[in-house]
Amino acid sequence: MTSLWTRAGKVFTKSRASGLSAKAPKEMGSNSAEKFYRIPEGKGPHSVGCTDLMTENAAEGSFLRLYYPSCNATDNEEAPWIPDKEYYQGLSDFLNMYRVVGERLFQYYVGSVTCPAKPNADFKPGEKYPLLVFSHGLGAFRTIYSAICIEMASQGFIVAAVEHRDESASATYYCKKKSVSETEEESTPNMEKEWIYYRKLKSGEEERCLRHKQVQQRAQECIKALNLILKINSGEEVMNVLNSDFDWNKLKDSVDTSRIAVMGHSFGGATVIESLSKEIRFRCGIALDAWMLPVGDDTYKNSVQQPLLFINSEKFQWADNILKMKKLSSNDSNKKMITIKGSVHQSFPDFTFVSGEIIGKFFKLKGEIDPNEAIDISNHASLAFLQKHLSLTKDFDKWDSLVDGIGPNVISGTNIDLSPSQGE
């Protein structure tokens, strides 16, 4: 119901007619008409690098993609958007497709898509950056919100995009040591990937019970990621089990430990709320088109003390979900809600940028609003909100009006009818 592709479960089953543009990023020139099909670059003053970090040889460790301000890395190629074929298999499972078909289609359409960040580029030292922890939606994984994460990094944030291992990602993995007999053939002698795929609801299983259990784990994974980045910031050595030449020592003393926020989409929005309720070091949170079902009753009772911004799409929300948001935000001027006109649930993940116009709208990957405009509104409102509540000395306050729902294609509050007859 609140999947990465709400009402788009068959988007890749329509063969090549789906119109997804995978080859565009490598083929187009600067003046190409296909520029629209590219994941947008960051608009801030910083170049952006990215690198992956995984701790421990077990599922209990942390796994995240770090987006960060980088030194200019003109020689580096851009990072692959979907890094392993197993993610195609997981997406196929999630979309109820045969893996052999799904993997081939995903590879054909998006196999060459890159995101505009340079892998393992040198970290840009010299200032303390605020930290943003990002939580993905149901059926997604750490790389699928790169447009948002890259923009935040370009504006001077360190962004830790967590890959959740609660079986809500379409696929994820941890590394484990190989048995002796296996080590001789492989190029990475001692480690192998153990994949964890999306778990579907079992027959007769109540969804709220499963999702509440998962959101507890997700919140702990966000807090664990926060602790990990702060440990690196303090100069502690952290063992990255992934092969990488990124110099983590350069992050020492580069995080502004007094300016930390949490952000997420859909199930990740619920994760934001749970994380705020459990960890006071998150000074504020941003929930993008949040799915409120997983949020526990105790969270409503105890409320969330930190400032919270709900950014909703026009087409996804419904009365009961909005009423739960209002239950958390009533009578608190530091909790805001806005709605982006013409947007859909998929206006936040990257798939909105790599799908063709007609099929993108048919399968609700695009709304009536231009995807670039929708993501700009979301990012600008987020930056204005973060400036206020993290006390940043930037110029993001030029977008303050968006947080109040003032401006083209944005409204304050919700477009949903909340009259009593609609609320139940």
Region 208-219: mean pLDDT is 97
Provide the b/e sequence for 359-395 (b: ≥16 CB within 10 Å).
Answer: bbebbbbbbebebebbbbbbbbbbbbbbbbbbebeee
User: Rounded to an integer, what distance in angstroms lies between the CA atom of residue 103 and that of residue 122?
Assistant: 33
Strands (E), 71-147: 79-80, 114-115, 118-119, 129-135
Query: Which positions ≥6 away from 61 have C-beta within 8 Å?
Result: 54, 55, 174, 241
- Examine the pLDDT at 422 and tell me if it is beyond 90: no
Amino acid (one-letter) located at 330: S
> Quick one: pLDDT at residue 378?
98
pLDDT at 361: 73
173 SS3 class: strand
Q: Is the pLDDT of residue 77 over 60?
A: yes
- Residue 421 annotated to the active site: no
pLDDT band at residue 184, thresholds of 50, 70 and 90?
low
Confidence band of 421 (pLDDT split at 50, 70, 90):
low
Quick check: 18 pLDDT over 70?
no
Residues 6+ apart with CB under 8 A from 198: 90, 93, 94, 139, 167, 168, 169, 170, 171
In the sheet that holds 410-412, the strands lie side by side as: 118-119, 47-54, 63-70, 158-162, 129-135, 255-265, 284-288, 308-313, 335-340, 410-412
| Options 166, 289, 350, 376, the catalytic residue | 289
Among 73-82, 187-196, 236-245, 375-384, the least confident range: 187-196
Owner of token pair 């950056």: 129
3-state DSSP call for residue 309? strand
Domain boundaries, the chain: 15-423
Looking only at Cα atoms, what is the longest distance across the chain? 67
pLDDT surpasses 80 at 377: yes
Confidence of residue 6 (pLDDT cuts 50, 70, 90): very low
> Among 20-24, 60-64, 234-238, where is mean pLDDT lowest?
20-24
Length of the chain: 424
pLDDT in tens, 27-65: 333 333 344 478 999 999 999 999 999 998 788 999 999
419 — pLDDT class (breaks 50, 70, 90): confident
The Cα–Cα gap between 424 and 422 comes to: 6
DSSP string, 28-51: --TT-GGGGGSPPPP-SSSEEEEE
> Is 92 one of the annotated active-site residues of the chain?
no
Q: Dig out the tokens for 302 from the structure.
A: 């105890």
Q: Work out the pLDDT band at 329, boundaries 50, 70, 90.
A: confident
Structure tokens at 197: 């795929």
Query: How confident is the model over 296-317, as pLDDT tens digits?
Result: 999 998 879 999 999 999 999 9
Query: What is the structure's pLDDT at 12?
Result: 40
- Using CA atoms, how far apart are residues 165 and 175, in angstroms rounded to an integer? 13
Residue 389 near residue 284 (C-beta atoms within 8 A):
yes
Distances (CA, A) of 72 to 49, 148, 157, 251: 9, 20, 16, 17
- Average pLDDT along the chain: 88
Distance between CA atoms of residues 279 and 82, nearest Å = 31
Give the per-residue pLDDT at 34.
40
Report d(CA 352, CA 350) in Å as an integer: 5
Which tokens belong to 65? 């993609």
Question: pLDDT at position 359, please?
Answer: 63
Residue/partner pairs of 44-47 with CB below 8 Å, 24 or more apart: 44/151, 44/153, 44/154, 44/155, 44/156, 45/154, 45/155, 45/156, 46/70, 46/124, 46/153, 46/154, 46/155, 46/156, 47/71, 47/72, 47/73, 47/118, 47/121, 47/124, 47/154
**If you average pLDDT over residues 10-24, what whole number do you get?**
35
pLDDT at 22 over 50: no
Which neighbouring-strand residues pair with 142? none
pTM given for the model: 0.91
Say yes or no to pLDDT of 182 above 70. Answer: no
The pair phi, psi for residue 155, each rounded to 5°, is -90, 5
- Mean predicted confidence (pLDDT) in 100-113: 91
Residue (of 214, 231, 228) closest to 164 by Cα position: 214
Q: Find the catalytic residue in 3, 47, 62, 266.
A: 266
For the domain with range 15-423, which CATH number is right: 3.60.21.10, 3.40.50.1820, 3.30.565.10, 3.40.640.10?
3.40.50.1820
Residue 265 appears among annotated catalytic residues: no
Using the predicted structure, report yes or no on whether residue 262 has a pLDDT greater than 70.
Answer: yes
List the helix and strand counts (H, then E) for the chain. 12, 14
pLDDT (average), residues 94-117: 92
Q: Which of 46, 164, 212, 345 is catalytic?
A: 345
- What's residue 72's pLDDT? 83
